[in-house]
Structure 1
Amino acid sequence: MHSAFYITVDDGYLGIGLAQARRLRALWQIDVHVFIEGAGGVQRDEQGAGGVFVHRNLMRDLIPQGLPSTESWPRIVYGRIFAPYLLPQYDRLIYLDADIFPMVAAPELLQIELPGGLAAVQDASTIGSAPRSAGGMSRDDWLRSIGMHTQRYFNAGVMMLDQKKWAAVDFAAGLLAFMARHGQAAHTQDQDFLNCHFQDRWTEISPRFNYQKAHFNYGYERLFAPVFLHFSSFEKPWRQEAAPDTVHGQFFAPYRQMFAAAGIDHRDYLREHREAGIRRLRGELRRWLTRHGVRTGKERRLRQEWQRKSDSLYEGLRADARADRYADMRFTLDARPQPTLSFDGSYLRRSLDVSYAPIE
């Protein structure tokens, strides 16, 4: 079976995508295709130096005009739907968001059957509740608002697909029709569309293959040792050095090493984060109080929210274990993890108990 990874980025994420691609190639020893949409002309890479193929602006005529986009959900995200049309030489394709750190190779993923043409991981942030973007709707109402009748909703940051089955679908027409009907309710636009299109037909794989930000604080990384670690929030570990007892601080150095291995200067992607003065002072005061044994109102609220989410995630994963939902593994979950969390004045934090493969 001939397989490859593909990544879609704009010019702002180009170095990040190339560094990720080089690491994927070194770990998995299969082709990696990076699709760039941005300034300049059209360029197709036929040679793939070192197994990494870099293409520019091949999807201009494939992605329909007029699709909704935002700063946090830019037009380039639609590329993950259309890039597979350009890769007919492969049987299996694995898509990765650019904010994913490849931890280890797991070639058994490529052997999973795809009767519906797609495998993915449940979206952890929507287990037991609707996303915040749904504006307080119940989970059932939110799902109905985007045309879904099933409860299973996946995160599209990692997808494995059957290229022939995928390419046989007119996704441009389907996407436009979905937006005409559900566009007002769809806030993660192409992900909502893909969930609607593939409902009851996608193959579910374990969180190993898309260990999302919504998993980080709950202690399941030893049960689901991450293959792909997904920084699926506004915080990105390459942007600034952070406290080492946080996941973003823990992975600042690995990202710097990944950039260096690809010949990319990590300093080009550093971004200073400045909080407003009053917010920063409040955070420092709360952190000081916590260090001196005083639990502030914000910390209490965050811990109550953590408990609610922990309950939902635990019950959801127990149900998945009983139903034997994951095509890649069977597991039992008899006890809830009890991770140690620290409060930094603004958020609850912890680091992950994980290891990743070094690259020489």
Structure 2
Amino acid sequence: MGMTCTSDRPARHRRAVVFACDEGYLPYALFAISRIAALHPERDFDICLCTGVLPVEIPASLAHLDIRLCRVDVGDMFDGLRLDPGRSPDVYLRLALPQALGVDYDRILYLDSDIHVQGGDFSALLSVDLGGRPLGAVRDNTQWRTPSRRPAQFRVLGLPAARYFNAGVLLMDVPRYLEADLLARCVALGRAEAGRMIRHDQNLYNAVLQGDWAELSPAWNWQYTWASRFFEAMQTAHVVHFIGKRKPWKDAEGELPPRFAREMGTFLARHWPDRPPVPIGLGPAHDARLMRKHLLKHLVAAPAMARYLAQFPDDLTVRA
């Protein structure tokens, strides 16, 4: 079965910010969308929400966000790829976005749903020159301070060290992406190496491209960890990305700053009043041991982190 894409309305622009999620992550995607829409009240790009097999329903109270709802059916395209227990093939959906939406868009900015949007000119980001590369992305945080580190997946596959990106924010040059046949190449590698793949499409992208991608400022994908949170306050990241299991809505120990849960909780209470409230912890400032751990890690990492950040004199710098 071939890929099909249906939508609730035609595209209005040639560029789009795109989220792909299921019902479980829908509230968090809509929270991020609401913040992008507030930054761009007269935007020159579409905001799309893509789903896979199962449709989602956007609350009527959020109709003003003017979201284009798209359903992408990839058929059996992702059969044979590695899947974590309890996950569906929809975890690979972003691989197919340029093919599914390529008739409508020349540029796609894909964003994960577990993010906190704080600012930034998304229209300007959609226009940056990627130097002929099919993708623009932010280096994975494992290489921020040690850029020569060989990713674990590369070691498993016998690949040499190369730049490795986090796939939570991807700027896609659609014609170049299609010309490079990235979807087919990633699927072919994923099937051939299913038994040796560690993650999902992030590793497929990186193994296929082997560093042939344009590097964006970490302001657009600040991967929030216990070793990077203080640097984020100095950098003023536009997009904070909660990698790992700890999220603003799932932070039982209260290790994240409470502002994230507070802002998201206010949004969810307004548009999903029947949901349990988001718990708001005290945050790490009330745990002296945790604060010392963070401070020592940041102190040691400061020189390498400064070298990394110096490569991006502004938020629209692209290192191709």
2:272 to 259, 264, 272: 264
Identify the residue that residue 318 of structure 1 maps to in structure 2.
307
Q: Secondary structure at the match of 1:159?
A: strand
Could you tell me whether the CA contact under 8 Å between 1:59 and 1:83 is conserved in 2?
Answer: no
| Structure 1 Cα separation of the partners of residues 76 and 305 of structure 2 | 38
Q: Which amino acid aligns with 2:54?
A: A
Hey, what does 1:234 align to over in structure 2?
A: 245
* Distance in structure 2 (CA, Å) of the matches to 1:2 and 1:211: 27
Q: Secondary structure at the match of 2:39?
A: helix
Structure 2 partner of 1:144: 155
- Percent of pairs identical after alignment? 24
User: Distance between the aligned counterparts of 2:214 and 2:108, measured in 1?
Assistant: 14
Contact 1:101–1:228, Cα closer than 8 Å, also in 2? yes
Question: Is 1:183 matched with 2:194?
Answer: yes
Structure 1: how far apart are the matches of 2:143 and 2:274?
Answer: 33
Q: Judge conservation of contact 1:212–1:232 (CA < 8 Å) in 2.
A: yes
SS in 2 for 1:251: helix
Contact 1:63 1:79 in 2 (8 A): no
The answer to which of 163-172 and 115-124 deviates more is: 163-172
| Contact 2:82-2:197 at 8 Å conserved across structures | no
Deviations 1:154-175 (A, max 9, x none): 1000011111122334444322
Question: Structure 1 residues 102 and 308 mapped into 2: Cα distance closer, same or farther (>3 Å)?
Answer: closer
User: Alignment partner for residue 82 of structure 2, among 63, 68, 86?
Assistant: 68
Equivalent in 238, 257, 260 of residue 251 of structure 1: 260
Distance in 2, matches of 1:50 and 1:206, equals 27
Q: TM-score, normalised by structure 1?
A: 0.67
Question: Measured at CA, do residues 83 and 66 of structure 1 come closer, stay the same or move farther in structure 2, by a change above 3 Å?
Answer: same
Aligned AA (1:117): P
SS of structure 1 residue aligned to 2:69: strand
Structure 1 unaligned regions, length at least 5: 42-47, 131-137, 274-287, 331-360
Which sits farther off after the overlay, 106-115 or 202-211?
Answer: 106-115
CA RMSD after TM alignment? 3.9
Query: Partner amino acid for 2:275?
Result: R
Per the alignment, residue 154 of structure 1 pairs with 165
Relative to 1, partners in 2 of residues 1:62 and 1:119: Cα closer, same or farther, differing over 3 Å?
A: farther
Letter of the 1:152 partner, please give it: R
| Greater Cα radius of gyration, structure 1 or 2 | 1
Equivalent in 93, 102, 106 of residue 79 of structure 1: 93
One-letter identity of the residue aligned with 1:228: V
Flag the 1:209–1:72 CA change in 2: closer, same or farther, 3 A. farther
Paired position in structure 2 for 1:90: 105
Measured after TM superposition, the shift of residue 37 of structure 1 is 2.2
Aligned to 1:328: 316
Distance of 1:24 and 1:108 partners within structure 2: 13
Where do 5+ consecutive residues of structure 2 fail to align?
A: 1-12, 57-62
Contact 2:151 2:164 in 1 (8 A): no
Deviations 1:323-351 (CA, angstroms, capped at 9, x unpaired): 66988349xxxxxxxxxxxxxxxxxxxxx
Structure 1 residue 125 and structure 2 residue 142: aligned? yes
Matches for 1:1-360 after TM superposition, within 5 Å: 2-28=14-40, 29=43, 30-39=45-54, 50-56=65-71, 58-61=72-75, 63-71=77-85, 75-88=89-102, 89-106=104-121, 107-114=123-130, 115-127=132-144, 139=150, 142-146=153-157, 148-214=159-225, 217-239=228-250, 243=254, 246-259=255-268, 263-265=271-273, 267=275, 303=293, 307=296, 311=300, 314-315=303-304, 317-318=306-307, 321=310, 328-329=316-317
2:114, 2:247 within 8 Å by CA — same for their partners in 1?
A: yes
SS at match of 2:235: coil
Q: How many correspondences in the alignment? A: 290
C-alpha separation in 2, matches of 1:141 and 1:39 = 33
SS at match of 1:166: helix
